[in-house]
Structure 1
Amino acid sequence: MSAIETVVFDLDTTLCENTQSDEEIHETVFARVGIEPPFTVEDVQNVDPADIPTVDTDRAFYEELYRAVTDDLDHEGYRRLAEVTVDVVDETDVEFREGAREAVEYARERYDDLGMLTYGDPDTQRAKLDVLDIAELFDAVVVCGPNTEVAGKPDPDAFETVLRELGAVPETSIYVGDSLRGDIGGANNAGMQSAWVPDEEPPADPDHEPTYVLSSPADVREIL
């Protein structure tokens, strides 16, 4: 295994979390729509965002998310749920996962090349970085997916794009993320090393094999 020279972080759920609880969002959305929930919070949490088709808007993302969870709604039902979810969720109301800021600062001190690859709307993702006050710590920030010119994760092009901006090579670069398919699978396919920071109990037999499995963002310091 090559020595690490470049570190690239994911943002959502790896470094930060929305301060609105999933339970609060779920309850508020269905109260506003006025129907009994046909699925649970856990059902939504079990959907990997990397399995959602690439779409152009937050509303379309939530509509596809709900289609992945249940077949019990008609077209209007999915559309209405998605519209209300966009109104309820404040995507920029985020806070660090425990130890995440320290992990980024530690990597910044030790490495010349520090990058971020994050999926989502460019304005929303950069607003999150401003809220967290860490944008200036990264040499390159690449936002992939809808409304960008970069394919969404796990497409290797997303990882290759941030490496090009950093002037780095995959063999000596590591990607730190929480999504097994989108982050770890994508990094592996791009030839990078990978560090998986799951936000829930990891499966016993994962589909993609990370180079490292970390119990929290703070553990990044143990591998760098």
Structure 2
Amino acid sequence: MIPDDATLRDAGLAPPREGRILLLACGALAREILALTERNGWSHMTLACLPAIFHNTPEKIVPAIREAVEKHKADFEKIFVVYADCGTGGQLKAACDELGIGMLEGPHCYSFYDGNAAFEARDEVTSFYLTDFLARQFDAFVTMPLGLDRHPELRNMYFGNYEKLVYEAQTRDAALEDKAKACAEFLGLDYEYRFTGYGDLETELAAQAEPMRPAR
């Protein structure tokens, strides 16, 4: 949650703006970002998330980012958008350029977790991807939105051109791997496990955080 700095300012208690970084992120990345900020001691970073379900309606992402930037820009020295393009067709990059803020490189999280260069080189056009988040939330983000819980006969319509499910794991978690295997079986796809860790997400956040890390 973002601190209510307006209330703090009114009370004369507003925290200093200098050195503070706001991460405007997809909710699907919240657990991973918090893990990275805690592990690296990036206490000067504040996380605010937009709903992960926006990926099903990517036209909502850019207006929500604009609104959040306008709301919080006075309270942070830097704002960084923790989204890749994510289905916005370049509109998010254009908006960030206009607003003078940075964002993650790449087309989507599957790419930057794998490493954008590595992902592009693989050219896996017949692969369906899961991350830790999607392995946990498969029913909420895949099964139910596509109606597969009610109409399993639609599976081949949606996934008939895929050959395998690739689970890009951010953490080593046997329970999540079992869930991912079950998802592959449910979709009728071959299964591949690929431990990526945090990939370019960690690299990009470090590039934002380290130059502004408070002196110890």
Task: With the length of structure 2 as denominator, give the TM-score of the two structures.
Answer: 0.33
Larger Rg: 2
Structure with higher helix content = 2
Task: With the length of structure 1 as denominator, give the TM-score of the two structures.
Answer: 0.32
